Amino acid sequence: MPSSAVSERSRHAPTTIALHWLTAILVVLLWTIGQTIDFVPRGALRVDYRSLHLLLGAMLGIVLVVRLVWRTTKGGLLPALQEGPTLAVSHATHWLLYALLLAAVVLGVATAWARGDSIFNVVQLPQLFPGDRARAHQVGEWHALAANAIMIVAGMHSAAALFHHFVLHDVTLRRMLPWAKRLP
């Protein structure tokens, strides 16, 4: 098979591809909202913006659980194209991303409860640490640290996929592209 061709046998399952890209989209949206929340004026608009962040974070948590169940029970991935140390780094990177995603989701939930966030001005979460703003701030900092770590590791993951595509000229990237079956 030419290196530019992607057969149906060598493509990841549609479920694997969908979960991968849904995760990527949610991570980018959540990180962007997290980075821009302080630019939104205080009041109802900021409550709604933060509530959107919480809603998308909950969606990410659900997608993460589905993705882990899919990967561990359905064999959601194809056999690797690499071997040896490259394969070990690939596996370690994927599991590091899963761990960071889980940490960010758990810390996001903890942050919302620590602050006592309002969700769309409909539901008010009780504060875990009433009157202890420093602790709520610390939990939020850990959440931000996990989110930034995700972006760094995901950036390295993306760079590796592009390296495979443009330098090694293999099908690693194309196996995960939703439209790859239409490529020559």
Domain for residue 2, yes or no?
Answer: no
pLDDT in tens, 95-122: 999 999 999 999 999 999 999 999 999 9
Paired strand residues for 124: 118
Q: Which residues contact 172 (CB under 8 A, 6 or more apart)?
A: 81, 161, 164, 165
Per-residue pLDDT, 181: 59
The span from the CA of 83 to the CA of 68, in Å, is: 23
Domain for residue 159, yes or no?
Answer: yes
How far is residue 152 from each of residues 3, 53, 134, 149, 177, measured CA to CA in Å?
Answer: 29, 20, 27, 5, 21
Domain for residue 1, yes or no?
Answer: no
Domain for residue 3, yes or no?
Answer: no
pTM for the whole structure: 0.89
Structural domain containing residue 80: 8-182
Please tell me the total count of domains within the chain.
1
Domain for residue 144, yes or no?
Answer: yes
pLDDT in tens, 31-84: 999 999 999 999 999 999 999 999 999 999 999 999 999 988 876 666 666 778
Per-residue pLDDT, 12: 84
Amino acid identity, position 106 = V
CA 56 to chain centre: 11
**95 or 3, greater pLDDT:** 95
Per-residue pLDDT, 91: 87
At residue 25 the predicted structure's pLDDT band, cuts being 50, 70 and 90, is very high
Q: State both tokens at 48.
A: 């709604």
CATH number of the domain enclosing 148: 1.20.950
What are the counts of helices (DSSP H) followed by strands (DSSP E) for the chain? Answer: 4, 2
